[in-house]
Amino acid sequence: RCSSHLTDGSWLLSLVTVATVALTRWSHRHVLDLAAFSREDFATMLELSARFRAIPMGGQRRIPALQGRLVTTLFFEPSTRTRSSFELAARRLSADVQSFSPASSALSKGESLLDTARTYVAMGSDVLVVRHGCSGVPALLARDLEQVGCKVAVLNGGDGLHSHPSQALLDLFTLARYFNAEAPGLEALQGRRIVIVGDLLHSRVARSNLWALTACGADVVLCGPESLLPQGFEQFVSAPPPGQELDPVAQRGSLRLERDLDRALEGADAVMTLRLQKERMRAHLITSLDAYHRRYGLSHERLQSCGKTVPVLHPGPVNRGVELSGELLDDSRVSLVEEQVRNGIPVRMALLYLMAATEDG
Ligand code: ASP
């Protein structure tokens, strides 16, 4: 599909070769949760993302890898980055794109989620990117669509507290590139100490990152107050999630819990901070934003506890001055926040390509 259309550029040959091999290795019809990914899957994603990132994408340039394919974004929760990034990624692969908004849809007339999804499949959708406030909805939809014989692939765009695969994959790619820009593969992540600080309790991003980072051999330190990081969270990847019998990764990196941020930062190679998800909090889980920032907020001074310069990541949207200081957020020598956004496009191109490029969809 790719090779017959692309005709110029030194990036082309390696892209076509890598993309063809990646397709033969890929076995996931849907992408719902990174707990199902093997080390080989992560390696494939990193490699293909790097190739897509290397494409000179100035102006209106498109590559015709998904010409004739239709990608539908079904977002039942607000989104600034994920939705537009998926839509841009799909367009750059020459797919057609359709967006669904709950407010202006027939859902308000009582149509079920399954029937809504089937409507888009009937229009020819090959991939449904689904975001929902309830954990498990993309998986249920994928199962129900299969049961009624629909061939569409479902990509989880973030569900409840459960999972946000594309965000964790772009975080992984951003870290791998930071550690080794020439070869951003599994080796770049092996043995790295990554601190994740903040509202882990409500974070689907953190949960997906735990599967991804430990699969790639990183050692993760979790940090936050008990109200946002319950005791036992460090057991998170010790057993596959319900419904999945086996862990596809033979040996994972470690997980450790540390309440004190300065101690957590000692020896860190990178720090990921998470938004306080006020919209999901049912009770007062912190005493005040100021107190939270003093104990768990990142700043240039705070990062000195790492003993060296380390990069800071945040999935966005950021509460400026709460999870991290404005000065740190704007310091492009340390903050990878905009780099994460940029990397989201090639990573989502890789995901969409792997899920939609084969003839049987
Ligand atoms: N944008 C991310 C998500 O949808 C993180 C966040 O909202 O804090 O999960």
Per residue in 36-57, pLDDT (tens digit) is 999 999 999 999 999 999 887 6
From 77, 199, 228, 275, mutation site for ligand 1 pocket: most ligand atoms within 8 A of C-beta? 275
**244-266, pLDDT tens digit by residue?**
999 999 999 999 999 999 999 99
Task: Write phi, then psi, for 52 (nearest 5 degrees).
Answer: -65, -35
DSSP string, 251-286: SPPPEEE-S-HHHHHTT-SEEEE----GGG-SS--S
Say if residues 72 and 138 touch (Cβ distance below 8 Å). Answer: no
The whole-number pLDDT of residue 225 equals 95
Give the lowest-confidence range in 110-114, 186-190, 306-310: 110-114
pLDDT for the residue numbered 163: 98
- Output 298 or 4, whichever has higher pLDDT: 298
User: Amino acid identity of 276?
Assistant: L
Residues in the chain: 361
Is-contact 299 327, C-beta < 8 A?
Answer: yes
According to DSSP, residue 111 is labeled -
- Find the range with the poorest average confidence among 40-49, 56-65, 123-132, 180-189: 56-65
Lowest mean pLDDT among 19-23, 57-61, 102-106: 57-61
**Residue 61 CB: number of other CB atoms within 10 A?**
9
pLDDT at 32 over 80: yes
What is the pTM for the complete model shown? 0.94
Mean pLDDT across the stretch 11-16? Answer: 81
pLDDT tier, 61 (very low <50, low <70, confident <90, very high otherwise)? confident
Reply yes or no: is the peptide bond before residue 317 cis, omega within 30 of 0.
yes
Task: Classify residue 115 as exposed, middle or buried by CB count within 10 Å of its CB (0-12, 13-18, 19+).
Answer: exposed
Q: How far is the CA of 227 from the centre of ligand 1 (A)?
A: 19
Q: Is 224 left (phi over 0), alpha (psi -120 to 50) or beta?
A: left
pLDDT-derived band at 6 (thresholds 50, 70, 90) equals very low
> Ligand 1 centroid vs 316 CA: distance in angstroms?
6
- Residue 106 reports pLDDT greater than 90: no
Q: Output the CA–CA distances (angstroms, integers) from residue 299 to 23, 308, 319, 327, in the order listed.
A: 42, 14, 13, 8
Per-residue pLDDT band for 359 (boundaries 50, 70, 90) equals: low
Ligand 1 pocket by Cβ (under 6 Å):
158, 164, 167, 204-205, 275, 277, 315-316
The answer to whether 188 touches 180, Cβ cutoff 8 Å, is yes
What average pLDDT does the structure give for the chain?
92
Nearest-angstrom CA–CA distance, 226 and 235? 15
Question: Above 90 in pLDDT, residue 15?
Answer: no
Q: Which amino acid is at 167?
A: Q
Cβ neighbour number for residue 162 with a 10 Å cutoff? 20
